Amino acid sequence: MKSRAESLQQAIAPVAGVQAHWRDYLALTKPRVVVLMVFTAIVGMFLASPGQVPWVALTVGSLGIALAAGSAAALNHLADQRIDAIMARTRNRPLPTGHLRPLQVLAFATLLGVVGLGMLAAWVNPLTAVLTFASLIGYALVYTLYLKRATPQNIVIGGAAGAAPPLLGWTAVTGSVDAHALLLFLIVFVWTPPHFWALAIARLKDYERADVPMLPVVYGERFTRWQVLLYTVLLLAVSLLPWATFMGGWLYLAAAIGLGGWYLMLNIRMVTAPGPRIPMRSFRFSIIYLFGLFAALLVDRQLPVLLGA
């Protein structure tokens, strides 16, 4: 007869398998990246609305954008499975480990994309659905399948897809694109190269093994460190434009100068200090920087509303 422990183990084994499978599918969507993208989209919604954000735009719009972003991420996993298997940073992803098969990933990505874009088209507005579809194609196909393997400027050109969420949030509320929406897009667009190049410096050997022409692979680590610093200077200047155009107030200005100043000092150290430690610190702080900058814009806009109430 089987022991009680063996019977219990057999009983919970299928549940454990389902849980692991669920985690594999979740990993395909790059949830941490999607959370940051959706947050910038929500900030775009609040900045676009003089009063309360329409409930449908906030809920359905955010969910539709999240599903489309998850679909693009899953397609990125599918296209990069060979590269991911070579690189230490990505070799434990679901496809290289064999936890999921390519057809499963394709079906999952298609389902997310169709549902997400369908929600945006049916309940938000056609412009947001079209722009979201364009950003999905831009990231999953144009960047991942072509630019990433074709040019060391891949992240600069392909960064337009990743910079779309605040613009999508804006159009979800207004159904149109204006200068302030493009300014939010510009901030994320300029932020993307120093954010990603810092990681590319820290993981240079990985990209060399995978034969991916990232900037430090083609032009060297020192050249890339200077590029990160120059883009950070540009980002600091661009981050002041919301204050200059009256989209943000003094609270936002203080946050932009404080966060930007710290980011700048960190990347000055990156130029002077060898090794991967400072680039990884820069990469991690860049995420905090973008979140903090958009959070400051949100608080700056909503604080007078709350105080007035």
203 pLDDT higher than 80: yes
Q: List phi, psi (to 5°) of 101.
A: -100, 155
Domain ranges across the chain: 26-176, 178-309
6 pLDDT higher than 80: no
Give yes or no for a contact between 162 and 138, defined as CB atoms under 8 angstroms apart. Answer: no
pLDDT of amino acid 22: 87
Residues 95 and 78: their CA atoms lie apart, in Å, by 7
CA distances from 217 to 27, 40, 52, 201 (A): 27, 31, 48, 9
The percentage of the chain sitting over the pLDDT mark of 90, rounded to a whole number, equals: 83
List the single range of 2-16, 131-145, 207-221, 233-247 with lowest mean pLDDT.
2-16
Determine the average pLDDT of the residues in 197-202.
Answer: 96
Give yes or no for a contact between 149 and 143, defined as CB atoms under 8 angstroms apart. Answer: no
Determine the average pLDDT of the residues in 199-203.
Answer: 95
Which 8-state DSSP code applies to residue 153? T
Residue whose pair of structure tokens reads 């169709």 in the numeric block: 114
pLDDT tens digits, one per residue of 63-73: 999 999 999 99
pLDDT of amino acid 138: 94
pTM, rounded to two decimals: 0.92
Residues 297 and 128: their CA atoms lie apart, in Å, by 22
Residues 47 and 50: their CA atoms lie apart, in Å, by 7
pLDDT of amino acid 20: 53
CA-CA-CA-CA torsion sign (61, 63, 66, 72): negative
pLDDT tens digits, one per residue of 120-134: 999 999 999 999 999
34 pLDDT higher than 90: yes
Determine the average pLDDT of the residues in 162-166.
Answer: 96
Which 8-state DSSP code applies to residue 54? P
Token pair recorded at residue 4: 């009680």
Give yes or no for a contact between 157 and 124, defined as CB atoms under 8 angstroms apart. Answer: no
Mean pLDDT (the chain, rounded) = 91
Residues 17 and 201: their CA atoms lie apart, in Å, by 37
7 pLDDT higher than 50: no
Determine the average pLDDT of the residues in 23-36.
Answer: 95
192 pLDDT higher than 50: yes
Q: What would the CATH number be for the domain defined by 26-176?
A: 1.10.357.140
4 pLDDT higher than 50: no
* Helix orientation angle between 102-119 and 126-137, rounded to the nearest 10 degrees: 160
12 pLDDT higher than 50: no
pLDDT of amino acid 302: 83
Residues 221 and 271: their CA atoms lie apart, in Å, by 10
The residue that leads in pLDDT, 161 or 10, is 161
CA distances from 54 to 43, 45, 84, 111, 174 (A): 13, 9, 41, 26, 10
Tell me the H-state helices in the chain: 4-28, 31-48, 55-56, 62-79, 81-86, 94-97, 102-119, 126-137, 148-150, 154-162, 165-174, 179-202, 204-210, 215-219, 221-239, 241-244, 250-272, 277-308
pLDDT of amino acid 181: 97
Determine the average pLDDT of the residues in 19-35.
Answer: 89
Helix and strand numbers (H, E) in the chain are 18, 0
Give yes or no for a contact between 6 and 128, defined as CB atoms under 8 angstroms apart. Answer: no
